[in-house]
A and B are shown apart, each in its own frame.
Chain A
Amino acid sequence: MPKNNENMMSVKGLTKVFKSGVFKPQYTVAVKDVSFDIKPGTILSLIGESGSGKTTIGKLILKLLKPTAGQIYYKNKDVAQINDKKEVKEYYKKVQGIFQDPFATFNPLYRVDRIFEIIFSSFGYDQTNKEERIHKVLNDVNLNPGRILGKFPHQLSGGQLQRLLIARALLMDVDVLIADELISMLDASTRIGVLNLLVDLCKENGMSVLFITHDLNLGYYISDYTLIMYKGRLVEKGDTKKVYQNPIHPYTKMLFNSVPDIGRRWDKEEEFLPEQVVDDVRKFYATNQGRGIEEIEEEHSVLFSLK
């Protein structure tokens, strides 16, 4: 674990442009000039609309994609420089991801016990008390080892698979966990248990989590810092309480207004239009020309315009 004031991970000016199509290439700017730091033992939530680049950021950190520009540092080491096989393996031992679609993650032909076996064999973990440790992490995520271990992935429900993924990451004792919509399929009651577990692990072991989510209430509940993305850019970031209590960017404001709240129905009159947001954001940038990213209070900054 790095010293407390050191960053576990640091992202600077990260940009990713996708090119698709050979003859008539199309360019998608998925991530544009994104910077943030992850301190040890903290949880950052990354929130934003569909297609805003959240998963792409996760994949860049995990070296599943190459950045078009910008750098990612893990404990002050440039991740782009981690290339030889041994180093890459070491990196993956410490930086792990759990992605949006639990069904695609597991090999459908492997039983659950095999999935855990593979972790031990391919990452060369210490094998002592292996069984006991597997049982412990399964219990931690509220899965019964006796029932789960002999099963194939397709015999499990969506939520059971997601918890299995979490158990796997816990077993690996990682430094940084990228959790992409990790709890999206869990009901409220199961979710809270998993989240509490995640928080405890962060606070006790100094693990850091980049928590990609769409659930603002849960984001508020567990994260120390909040990052808001809109169209590939980080439009607002900072201390969770500050961002939630004083949202400035029009996208952030809209987001907080759309949270489905039980007991209060969506306003039918104020029909929700994505174009409206586009328009509001455009106006906001126009009236704040030349300002760029500004810190409006300690640990809270906002993108006022595209310079």
Chain B
Amino acid sequence: MRENILEVKNLKAYYKILKGQVKAVDDLTFNIKKGEILGLAGESGCGKSTLASTLISRKPPLHHISGEVKLNGKEIMQIPEEDFKPMRLKNISLIPQYALDAFSPTKKIKTFIIDLVQEHGIKPDREFFDKVKERLYLVNLDPSVLERYSIELSGGMKQRVIMVISTILNPDFIIADEITSALDVSSQRFVATMLANLRDEGIIGSAMFITHDLSILYQIAERIMIMYAGCFIEIGPTEEIVKNPRHPYTKALIASLPQVGIQYQDKKLSGIKGTPPQLLNIGEGCRFRYRCQYADKQCEISPVRERINEGHYISCWRWKELGSDNNA
């Protein structure tokens, strides 16, 4: 059995605001194996970025409520900031969703990188920048971007610069949050493949790849985890999740993927009816029950996480009766 790089157990993290608690990460349990790329998908607002922030920073109003997270066997939710800081970029690194926004328009990209790595106690010497240039080349960028200002770069170019910076210290574990969503398909393929290649070459250890785009996860993830409204839905091997989803929500999500070759005048596609529930002070019960055609009385109690088979887990009271037919 492969060892785990990350072990998350009953993790809860809420935003504490005036009106109460936004329960954006509510009882998540999962592992990521060494060398694995885990895909994380789910509807907009379901807590994917919140999970990423919980693992890496937890700035107020976001608070860790309960549950544990072990990185390389070491508990990281309780350790003080000064001990955690040196681990960022090196042991755990995040390529943030708002990467496009991270650059100050008045700074040269190079200055930005210098400031950032110095903050992490790294000397931006010649050797360091040689490595940066080498990596820029890998993502198909000319090293001259270092001398440019962020407003001079296109959206995709900025995204790739961020990617280079986040991986420069060869992190054991990297979280990539929607890094391909602003890219054209050829750059998407390039960036996603590059992440997998970096992993194959041992430059990065493991990764959690967050996206709403299941078709990209299909290309690079070993397993996929699905979240809904802050909760765990299903995790399993990529092939099983995509071709044989078991949770009614996963089934509906897969069914709403854009199919190739359909025009709106020929056939109007439709998404999942209804909207996700408000996470503020949300109570008991399966959070998908309001939109689920199979929901019954029992679903008013929060479902427990059950094992379907090795590596495939689900949180749904009715998964056994529903079976594995994919016509939800």
Chain A residues with CB under 8 Å of chain B are 18, 20-21, 26, 28, 47-52, 55, 100-101, 103-104, 142, 144, 147, 155-160, 163, 181, 184-193, 195-196, 199, 214-218, 220-222, 240-241, 244, 254-255, 258-263, 265-266, 272, 274, 277
Contact = CB atoms under 8 A, between A and B. Distances in A.
A50 B45 contact: no
Contact of B98 (A158, A217, A241, A260): A158
A48 B43 CA distance: 26
A265 B44 contact: no
A55 B152 CA distance: 12
B10 interface: no
Interface in B111-131: none
A245 B231 CA distance: 42
Given A241-B263, A260-B215, A262-B242, A255 B154 contact: no
6 contacts: A50-B156, A196-B268, A260-B185, A260-B218, A265-B218, A265-B219
B266 to A, nearest CB: 9
A155 B147 CA distance: 34
B188 A100 contact: no
B44 A158 contact: yes
B187 A49 contact: yes
B178 A18 contact: no
Given A158-B97, A196-B264, A187 B258 contact: no
Contacts of A158: 44, 49, 97-98, 178
B112 to A, nearest CB: 16
B74 to A, nearest CB: 30
Contacts of A48: 184
Nearest to A254: B186
A190 B278 CA distance: 16
B262 interface: yes
Given A101-B98, A104-B101, A272-B190, 9 more contacts: A18-B152, A50-B159, A100-B100, A190-B44, A196-B268, A221-B263, A222-B263, A260-B213, A260-B219
Interface of B: 15, 17, 41-45, 49, 97-98, 100-101, 140, 144, 147-149, 152, 154-157, 159-160, 178, 181-190, 193, 212-216, 218-219, 242-243, 252-254, 256-264, 268-272, 275, 278, 280
Contact of A258 (B189, B242, B264): B189
Nearest to B271: A189
A160 B269 CA distance: 21
Contacts, number: 183
Given A49-B187, A158-B97, A185 B253 contact: no
A240 B260 CA distance: 13
Contacts of A196: 264, 268-270
Nearest to B218: A262
Contacts of B242: 262-263
B219 A190 contact: no
Contact of B243 (A52, A263, A265): A263
Contacts of B98: 101, 103, 158
Ranked nearest first, the 4 interchain pairs of A and B with the lowest CB-CB distance are A159-B44, A50-B156, A189-B271, A187-B212
Nearest to B191: A50
Contacts of A221: 258, 262-264, 269
B258 A104 contact: no
A192 B256 contact: yes
A100 B182 contact: yes
B236 to A, nearest CB: 15
Interface centre among B148, B149, B275 (most CB of A within 10 A): B275
A55 B218 CA distance: 29
A52 B187 CA distance: 12
A144 B262 CA distance: 30
A155 B151 CA distance: 25
A52 B154 CA distance: 9
A266 B189 contact: yes
B44 A259 contact: no
Contacts of B155: 50, 55, 100-101, 181
A192 B271 contact: yes
A215 B190 CA distance: 15
Contacts of B15: 155
Contacts of B178: 158, 185
Contact of B214 (A144, A160, A216, A262): A262
Nearest to A180: B155
A260 B43 contact: no
- For A155, A188, A240, the residue with the greatest tally of chain B CB atoms inside 10 Å of its CB is A188
B258 A217 contact: yes
A189 B184 contact: no
B100 A101 contact: yes
